[in-house]
Chain A
Amino acid sequence: MQNAAKPLILLSGELHTNKKFGPETINRGAALFECEWDGGVFESGLFVGGMFRSGRFAGGTFLGGIFWGGSWLDGTWEGGFDRVGIYRSRGDNPTAPSS
Chain B
Amino acid sequence: MPRLLISSPHRYPDLARLWHRSVARELVPAFAALQLDVEVNIFCDANAEQFEPRSFPDVRFTRSGPGMRDFMEFYDATLEAPCDFLLFIDADTFILDGSWAASYFSSLDDPRVAAVSYVPRDGAPAIFALLCRVESYRALPRPAMACRYEFPENWPHGANPQPGDVAARELAKAGQKIVNVGQEESSRHVAQFRSTTGIRSSREQITRAAGNSVFWKMIDMCPEYLGAAYDNLVLGRLYESLFREPFAVDSAGVALGGSLTVDEMRQALSGVCDADRLETLRRGFRQSHDNILRLARREGVELTIPSVLPEASAVV
Contact = CB atoms under 8 A, between A and B. Distances in A.
A68 interface: yes
Contacts, number: 77
11 contacts: A13-B210, A13-B214, A46-B205, A78-B205, A81-B149, A83-B152, A85-B148, A85-B150, A86-B143, A86-B146, A89-B70
Interface residues of B, number: 27
A66 B214 CA distance: 22
A17 B64 CA distance: 32
A61 B205 CA distance: 8
A84 B217 CA distance: 32
Interface string A83-94: 111110111100
B148 A86 contact: yes
Q: How large, as a class, is the contact surface on chain A?
A: 20 to 34
B206 interface: yes
9 tightest Cβ-Cβ pairs between the two chains A and B? A31-B210, A46-B209, A85-B149, A61-B209, A90-B70, A89-B69, A81-B149, A46-B210, A15-B217
A81 B148 contact: yes
A51 B156 contact: yes
Nearest to A83: B152
A60 B72 CA distance: 22
Interface of B: 64, 69-70, 72-73, 143, 146-152, 155-156, 158, 205-206, 208-211, 213-214, 217-218, 221
Interface of A: 12-15, 17, 29-31, 33-34, 44-46, 51, 60-61, 63, 66, 68, 76, 78-79, 81, 83-87, 89-92
